[in-house]
Amino acid sequence: MKRKWLHGLAITALAFSLAGCGKSVQEQIEVGVASAETIFQEGAEVPNTTIGSIEVFVPKSYTVEQGANEMNYILTKDKDSYILFVNTNEQEDSKLHYDNLMADQTKNVVKSQEMESDEEFGFSAVVQHEDDKHYELIVSIGGIKMTTISEDRKIEDKLNTMMQIVRSVNIVK
């Protein structure tokens, strides 16, 4: 009887400690945005897929297909969908996507981070939706932007992967 009680107590303690290990939404956002900035600074993954007018790194377990035109691509992983927008008319140092986001007063931007190098401008941002449980995740470099809608989990991982993908895009001329 004593062993069962101790065993139950140990399982309960483990459950509480594991629950405490999960990051809050704000922590996920902070780490995700910082991770995206690191990837921006480090350089691009080697593209492993050619579709439409782009070469792009597509992580394992993701699929990619061309959208309605050569500027839009849809990536999916499990139940998550991502939209990759490639505007070939914008330069790598374009701030168009960032300026449009910041000018939109209807957006509740929880966090945004600008990133610059000598030739490029990029940013990552998290926008909270009205229901407080969904977030729009955005990463962009120049005229290339990727977005997804996420519940309040895996935000950190998604921002990281999204920047890897955006960073890798090479426009085929």
CA 104 – CA 120 distance, rounded (Å): 23
Global pTM reads 0.84
Cα 99 from chain centre: 19
Residue 76: pLDDT over 60: yes
* pLDDT tens, residue by residue, 108-121: 999 999 999 989 99
* Residue of 168, 172, 170 whose CA lies nearest to 45: 168
CATH assignment of 23-171, among 2.60.40, 3.40.1000, 1.10.3470, 1.10.357: 3.40.1000
Which residue ranges make up each domain of the chain?
Answer: 23-171
**Letter for the amino acid at 3?**
R
Task: Report the chain's mean pLDDT, rounded to a whole number.
Answer: 86
